[in-house]
Structure 1
Amino acid sequence: MIPTFKESICYLTAIAGIAPAAFAGEPLPVSKEYWNDPSFVSSFNGSYKINARIEPTVSSEQRAMLVQVQERMKKGLRESALSLLVNSSLTKSSAALLYNRGNIELELGKSEEAIKSYKLALERFPSFRRAFKNLGTAYIQLSEYDEAEKALREAVKLGELDGSTLGLLGYCYLQNEQYASALQAYKMAQLTEPDVIDWKAGLAQCLGEVGDDEEALALLKEVVEARPTETSYQLLLVNIQLKLELEEDAIAGLELLRKQGLLEGRNLSLLASLYLRDEDLRMAKPVIAELQKSLSAESVASFLRTINEVVTIAEWEYAGELLEVVSAVDKNSKDQNTENRIKAFVLIQKGEEGAVELLEKVLESDPLDGEALLMLAGVKAGEKDYEHAALLYERAEKIPAVQYRALVESAKVLVTQKRYKSALQQLIAAQELQPSDSLEKYLNAVESLAKSW
C-alpha cells in the first residue's frame, strides 16, 4: 500500500528538510531605554562619588584632580575631563582616578578602553567593588557575557546588591542559559528597582524557560503595555502565547507589529505559517508577498519553509508560483536540495512528470539524503518497479534519521506484493526501534496474513 496524501503530508516537513516556523526564545537584549533609565543613570552617576569607608583613599592632589574633573563633567565637557585624567601623572598610581577615567570612557562609548582602566584600578585596589560592577557593565556592552558575569559576581560578593548590578547579573545568567540563577537575580533586582521594565521582561523570559508560562504571560502583558513599540517584548509575548496554544492572540500581536512596520524576516514567516496552519490562505498571501519582496540568498531557507506550509494545505498552483520565484535566487547546495525536494513532492501530488529527475539531482549532490531516498522509493513503488524501490529503501534503512520510516514504508510495499513474511520482518524491526500501538496493530494484521497465506 503506497502512502496516501494524508500519510505523506505528515512527513512533509521532514521531506522538505526544514523545521516548522517558530519563534526561538533568545535572550532579550538590555534595551536602549535601560541605559537612560533613571535607576541606571542614578546608579552610574553615583559611582563617580567616593565612598572612603570601603574604597581607595585619595591624596589631596588626587582629590583636587577629581574636583577639576567634576567641574568639567558638570559642563558636559567629557572629552576634556577624560583628557585631564589621561595626561595626568597622578592617574597611573591612583585606583580612584583610573576608575573615574573608566567611567568617562564608558559614557563616551569607549568600552574597550574603559575595561583597561577598570582592570588597572583593580590591580591597585583588588576589593574595589564598584570597579567590578562597572567592569561588568562594560563587558555587557561588548556582548562578552562570561567576563561580565565574573565581574558582576565579584561585585556582589563584595556587597554590591543594588538592582542594577543584580539585574545585569541576571541578564548574563540568561545569556548563558542558567535560568534558575537568572530567575533569582531578576527577582532580587526587582526588590530595589521594581519599575525597571528590563528586569520584568527578563524575569518573564526566565519563567517561560522554566515552564511557568501562566505567570510569564501575566508579567509580559504588563511589559508590553509599558513599552508597546518594543518589538522584542511583543515577540516574547507571542512565544509564550504559542506555548499556551493561544494562537489567535499570537496572530493579533504579530499583526500589530506588522502594521507598524516592525515585523520582518523569520517573524513574518511565523505569521504566514500561523495563517496557513489555520488554512487561511487569504490572510497569508499578503504576508508572503512581503517576504517575497525581501527574498535573498540569506532568507531563502525561511521562504522555503513558508512554501512548505503552502504545500501542506494542498495549494499546488500557488506553491508552484512561489517555487518559480525561488528558482531565480542564488542558493547554496542545501537550499537547492530543499527546493528540489519540495518541487518533487508537488509534482508527485499533481501526477506530473519530473519528480524523479529532481530527486536524482538531490541524491547526486548528497547520496545520504534520506528524505530524497524515501520519496524516490515511493515513486518507484508506485510505478511497480519494486526491485528499484527495495534498493532505495535498503539504502534509507542505513540512515538513522529515516530508518524507522524506511522500514515501515518498505513493509507497506511488500504487503502490496503479498510478501507478508518479509513485510513482517520489517515491521518487527520498526516496532523494536520505535514502539507504538498503531504499528503493533498493523504488525498483528500482517502477521495474521502471513500465517494464512
Structure 2
Amino acid sequence: MTKSKSLKLAFAGLLCATGFASLSAQLVYDAEKFWSQTHIREAYIGNYELNVKTEPKLTEAEQEVFREILEVMKTDKDTALQMMLSNITTESSGALEFIAGSLYGERGDIDNAMVYFKKAIDKYPGFLRARKNLAIMLVQKAEFAEAIPHFVRAIDLGARDSVTFGLLGLCYVNGSQFISAETAYREAILLNSETKDWQLGLAKALLNQKKYQEAIAVLEEILLKEPENELIWISQANAYLGIDDAETAVAIQEIVDRLGKSTADSLEFMGNIYMSRNLTDLALKYYRKAIAKDPKRSVKTHVDTADILVGRGAFEEARVLIADIREAYSERVDKNQDTRLLRMESHIAMNDGKTDVFIPILEKLIQNDPLDGDSLMMLADHYTSQDTIEGYARADLFYERVVKIEEVEVKGLIAWARSYVAREQYGKAIPHLERANTLDPRDFIGRYLEQVRKVHLANIGL
C-alpha cells in the first residue's frame, strides 16, 4: 500500500469516528438565505398575466373578473384575493385558482398556495406555471421527493429556466440522486452561470460521486468571486483530500485559519488531518481551538476525538483535551459521555502508573454500573500485575464477577486463565480456556489451551 493511500485510509477512519464523513458536509442548503434571493422569488411571485399557450383559456366572464381583479391588485392585494376566491367555482377554468395560489404564495402562506395550485392542476393538468409553482412550494416545505415529478412535468411542458433546473437539482441532492442532480445543475448553470447556488449544488453532487477534480474546478470558479468564503475553502480542502493531496488540504485549511474564518468543523478537520499524520501535538492544538470556537457544539464529537487519542497512545494530548471537554461542557456532559471520559482517564492514569488515580475512577465506574465488565477486568488485571498473594486473591474476586457478564464472559475467561498461568497454576487455567473455547471457538484460544495443557502435564510428570 502506498503512503498516500495509507494516509487516506487512516484519515477516513478518523472522519467516520468523528462524524465528519461527508466530503460535502459544508455545502449545506440554507433555506432562509436561499428563498430571500430576488431571482428566486421572481420565479414564482409577482407575474399574474396568463399565457394562453400553456395555461387554460379564460371564459368571457372570467376575463372580465380577471381584468377587474388585476386593477384592484395594484393597490390592495388582500381585497383582490377575496374577490378571486369568491369567483372560484367547480366550473371555473383553473386560471383563477392559479392566481389565488400565487397571491397566497406572495403572502408566505405556503399551505394555502399549494391547495390552490393543486386545484388548478386538477382542472388543467398541462398548466405549466401551476406545476412549477407547486413544485417550488413543495421545496420550501422541504418535501423534495414530492416536488420532483412536478418539476419534471413542468420541463416536459416547456419550462427551460435556471430556477426550475436548479431546484430540481436541489431535490435530487436531498434524495442522494447525485448523477441526476449533476445533470440538472449543469443545465441550470448553462442557463444562468451567475447563480452561486447552482454551482454549489453541482460541487456537492460531484463530491458525492467522488469526482474530486471536477469539484475542485467548480469550487475554484466560486472562489474567484468569493475569495473569503470559508465554507468554499473548506470544501476545496475536502476535495484535495479526496485525491490524496493532504499537503494542499492542510495548506488551504491554514489559510482559512489565518483569515480568521475557521469554524469548529474546519478546526476539527484540521486536527484530523494532523492526527492522520501522527502529528498529535498539532492535532491537539486544533481540537482545542474547535472547542473554544463553539461551546454549544455536540459534546459527543469531542469525546469521540479524545477516545481516538487514547486509542493511539497519545495520552498526554488526551489528558489535555479531556480537561477542556470537562471545563467547556461541564453542564452538558451526559451520563454515558461521563462514563466514557472516566474510562479514558483511568487508562491514562494506569499508563502513568498512578494507582491512586485510576483505582478510584474504576471503582466509581463499577459503583455506577455493577455490570461494567471492562472496568472490572481492568481492576482484575491490575491486581494480577502486582504478583502478590493478596493481589491475586483480589483479582480472582473481580474475574469471578466478569465471567458472569455475558457480553465479556469469553474475554474474562481468557484473562482469568492468563492470570493463573502467571501464577504457574496451569490446572486452574485449563477449565476457563475450555469454557471460552466452547463459547467462542477460535484458533488462538485452541492453541493457547493446548500449550497450557502440555505445560500442566509436564509439571505433574505426565
Q: TM-score normalised to the size of structure 2?
A: 0.71
- Where structure 1 has 5 or more consecutive residues not aligned to the other structure, the ranges are 1-9, 433-439
Structure 2 match to 1:340? 342
Of residues 10, 16, 19, the one that matches 2:17 is: 19
Question: Rg bigger for which structure?
Answer: 2
Structure 2 match to 1:354? 357
* 2:396 pairs with 1:387: yes
Structure 2 match to 1:28? 28
Shift of 1:409: 7.0
Q: 1:127 to 1:304 in 2, by over 3 A?
A: same
Shift of 1:160: 3.5
Q: 1:44 to 1:378 in 2, by over 3 A?
A: farther
1:192-230 C-alpha deviation (Å, 9 max, x unpaired) = 344433233222222222333333333333234344455
Shift of 1:247: 3.3
Structure 1 match to 2:333? 331
Instruction: Describe the SS at the equivalent of 2:121.
Output: helix
Q: 1:301 to 1:90 in 2, by over 3 A?
A: same
- Where structure 2 has 5 or more consecutive residues not aligned to the other structure, the ranges are 1-9, 456-462
RMSD over aligned Cα atoms: 4.4
Structure 2 match to 1:56? 56
Structure 1 match to 2:237? 238
In 2: Cα distance, 1:237 partner to 1:318 partner: 31
1:360-402 C-alpha deviation (Å, 9 max, x unpaired) = 5445555676665665565455446453565576467x44xx8
**Match of 2:396, as an amino acid?**
E
In 1: Cα distance, 2:32 partner to 2:372 partner: 45
C-alpha contact (below 8 Å) 2:376/2:399 kept by paired residues: no
* 2:53 pairs with 1:86: no
In 1: Cα distance, 2:98 partner to 2:171 partner: 23
Instruction: Describe the SS at the equivalent of 1:354.
Output: helix
Equivalent runs, 1:288-307 vs 2, <5 Å: 288-289=288-289, 291-292=291-292, 294-296=294-296, 299-307=298-306
In 2: Cα distance, 1:450 partner to 1:302 partner: 44
Structure 2 match to 1:437? none
Deviates more, 1:349-358 or 1:249-258: 249-258
Deviates more, 1:207-216 or 1:280-289: 280-289
C-alpha contact (below 8 Å) 2:131/2:150 kept by paired residues: yes
Shift of 1:143: 1.9
Structure 1 match to 2:196? 197
Structure 2 match to 1:4? none
C-alpha contact (below 8 Å) 1:102/1:118 kept by paired residues: yes
Shift of 1:413: 6.3
Structure 2 match to 1:165? 164
**Match of 2:98, as an amino acid?**
Y
C-alpha contact (below 8 Å) 2:396/2:416 kept by paired residues: no
C-alpha contact (below 8 Å) 1:238/1:254 kept by paired residues: yes
1:223-250 C-alpha deviation (Å, 9 max, x unpaired) = 3434445554444333333333433433
**Match of 1:387, as an amino acid?**
D
Q: 1:324 to 1:445 in 2, by over 3 A?
A: same
C-alpha contact (below 8 Å) 2:267/2:289 kept by paired residues: no
C-alpha contact (below 8 Å) 2:284/2:321 kept by paired residues: no
Structure 2 match to 1:222? 221
Structure 2 match to 1:7? none
In 2: Cα distance, 1:159 partner to 1:412 partner: 77
Q: 1:46 to 1:234 in 2, by over 3 A?
A: farther
Q: How many residues align?
A: 423
Shift of 1:149: 2.9
In 2: Cα distance, 1:310 partner to 1:272 partner: 11
Structure 2 match to 1:315? 316
Structure 1 match to 2:95? 96
Shift of 1:81: 2.6
**Match of 2:136, as an amino acid?**
T
Instruction: Describe the SS at the equivalent of 1:315.
Output: helix
In 2: Cα distance, 1:66 partner to 1:334 partner: 65
1:53-108 C-alpha deviation (Å, 9 max, x unpaired) = 221112455445555666687x7x6xx33541233323564522332333343344
In 2: Cα distance, 1:270 partner to 1:403 partner: 38
C-alpha contact (below 8 Å) 1:415/1:423 kept by paired residues: no
C-alpha contact (below 8 Å) 2:253/2:270 kept by paired residues: yes
Shift of 1:29: 0.7
In 2: Cα distance, 1:237 partner to 1:404 partner: 47
Residue identity (%): 23
**Match of 1:90, as an amino acid?**
N
C-alpha contact (below 8 Å) 1:207/1:215 kept by paired residues: yes
In 2: Cα distance, 1:308 partner to 1:315 partner: 13
**Match of 2:291, as an amino acid?**
L
In 2: Cα distance, 1:114 partner to 1:215 partner: 39
Equivalent runs, 1:402-441 vs 2, <5 Å: none
* 2:87 pairs with 1:110: no
C-alpha contact (below 8 Å) 1:23/1:270 kept by paired residues: no
In 1: Cα distance, 2:230 partner to 2:413 partner: 46
In 2: Cα distance, 1:408 partner to 1:184 partner: 58
1:129-186 C-alpha deviation (Å, 9 max, x unpaired) = 3212111211222222233234334434545354322321221122122333333433
Instruction: Describe the SS at the equivalent of 2:159.
Output: coil
Instruction: Describe the SS at the equivalent of 1:52.
Output: coil
C-alpha contact (below 8 Å) 1:23/1:267 kept by paired residues: no
